[in-house]
Amino acid sequence: MMRIVLAGPQLDGLEISEPAASVRLLVRWPGEPFEIPTWNGNEFLLADGRRPALRTFTPVSLNDHGLTLDIVRHGGGAAADWAETVAPGEPCAISGPGRGEAIEPSAGRYVLLGDETAIPAIEQLLGVIAHDVRIDVHIEIVDDCAQLDLATHPGAAVTWHVTTPGDAPGATLRRAAEATDIDERTRVWAAGEAAAMQAIRKHLFDDRKIPRDHTTVRGYWKVQR
What pLDDT, in 10s, does the model give residues 14-45? Answer: 999 999 999 999 999 988 999 999 999 899 99
Same domain, 133 and 206: yes
In this prediction, residue 115 carries a pLDDT of 95
61, 95, 129 — which closes off a domain? 95
Same domain, 18 and 82: yes
In this prediction, residue 224 carries a pLDDT of 67
Same domain, 210 and 116: yes
- Residue 14 or residue 222, greater confidence: 14
Least confident span in 141-145, 159-163, 198-202 = 141-145
Residue 221, pLDDT > 90, answer: no
Q: What is the CATH number of the domain that holds 78?
A: 2.40.30.10
Q: H or E segment at 22?
A: none
Q: What is the CATH number of the domain that holds 130?
A: 3.40.50.80
Domain annotation covers residue 52: yes
Same domain, 7 and 80: yes
Confidence of residue 66 (pLDDT cuts 50, 70, 90): very high
Q: Hey, what long-range contacts does 8-15 have (CB within 8 A, 24 or more apart)?
A: 8/66, 10/94, 11/62, 11/66, 11/67, 11/94, 14/62, 14/67, 14/94, 14/96, 14/97, 15/62, 15/97
Same domain, 91 and 136: no
Domain annotation covers residue 166: yes
Residue 8, pLDDT > 70, answer: yes
- Residue 145 or residue 30, greater confidence: 30
In this prediction, residue 19 carries a pLDDT of 95
Those residues with Cβ within 8 angstroms of residue 130's Cβ, 6 or more apart along the chain or in another chain: 103, 105
State mean pLDDT over 173-188. Answer: 96
Same domain, 124 and 47: no
Tell me how far apart the alpha carbons of residues 103 and 81 are, in angstroms, rounded to a whole number.
34
The reply to whether the predicted model has a pTM over 0.85 is yes
Residue 60, pLDDT > 80, answer: yes
For residue 188, give its domain range: 109-221
Domain annotation covers residue 103: no
Tell me how far apart the alpha carbons of residues 38 and 17 are, in angstroms, rounded to a whole number.
26
State mean pLDDT over 46-65. Answer: 93
Same domain, 6 and 74: yes
Those residues with Cβ within 8 angstroms of residue 32's Cβ, 6 or more apart along the chain or in another chain: none
Per-residue DSSP letters for 74-123? -TT-HHHHHHHHPPTT---EEE-PPP-----TT-SEEEEEEEGGGHHHHH
31, 66, 95 — which closes off a domain? 95
- Total of domains in the chain: 2
95, 118, 134 — which closes off a domain? 95
Domain annotation covers residue 101: no
Q: What is the pLDDT of residues 93-107, one digit of tens each?
A: 999 999 999 999 999
In this prediction, residue 2 carries a pLDDT of 87
